[in-house]
Amino acid sequence: MSTQTTPQAPAGPGVFRDRVALITGADRGIGRALASRLGAQGCRLVLHSHDAEGLTKTVADEGWVDGQVLTAVHDVADSAAVEAAVAEAVARFGKIDYLLNVAGVAHPGGVLTTSREIWDRTLATNLTGYFVTARTVLPYMKEAGDGFVVNMSSIWGRRTAPPGAMLAYSVSKWGVEGLTRALAEEARPWGVRVSGIVLDKVDTSFRENMPGELTQEQRDRMLTAADVADSTCALLGSSRRAHVSTVELDAWQWV
């Protein structure tokens, strides 16, 4: 099943109480918005980021206590680091209910202006990182017979980015689309759901890599990280009888 509407967030506090969510890229933007929303509803948080300072500041700003949150600083494509961090989280909390793959990078450039370094870094973070984290978490979900993986994707994974704009990013998100579908089929017999959220323009630091200079009016017409958190929480709180394979969030007021 696929939908292009924006679901509403589940009602009432405590919908996610005592659930455990692992969020990558948790120190800023969408990742932080998700952590804040889930934490406020009683979810225990496993927050991964490559930015130690940003992650420390996020935890301090949100006022989370040690019993609610566990952090890890590493590259999401570093298999050994991810495995160690996930093992520590399961030892601390006993399980992982949700994996939210959010971490990502974006760089401008087409085929003639994208360096091999940028290409490799983009695919390592945006695609390999999703694979590595899912591969590490899914055995625990399989054993539990339950779990939910959500991969953040992009409209540029459904259609090509403007010529010369964001080639590596677009290719990585095409890969995320394929990975999400493949994981959904493989994890289905285990009782684990895998969904993708396809994002249009979101007003985060990623906007800096959009072609051209944005006006304040244009930014006001973009989606916000809070909008993405609303839809993600609605998806996570949906009935286990339903599997929403894809949610598409359109910045429908964009001109």
Are the CB atoms for 88 and 72 separated by under 8 Å? yes
Tell me how far apart the alpha carbons of residues 201 and 254 are, in angstroms, rounded to a whole number: 8
Q: Give the angle subtended at the CA of 176 by the CAs of 141 and 26, to the nearest 5°.
A: 65
In the sheet that 2-3 helps form, which strands lie side by side, from edge to edge? 2-3, 246-249, 192-199, 147-154, 98-101, 20-24, 44-49, 69-73
Give dist(CA 238, CA 30) in Å, integer: 20
In angstroms, what CA-CA distances link 120 with 17, 22, 106, 168, 235? 39, 25, 12, 9, 32
How far apart are the C-alpha atoms of 132 and 125, rounded to whole Å?
10
- Is the dihedral angle over the CA atoms 113, 118, 119, 122 positive or is it negative? negative
Catalytic positions, written as ranges: 169
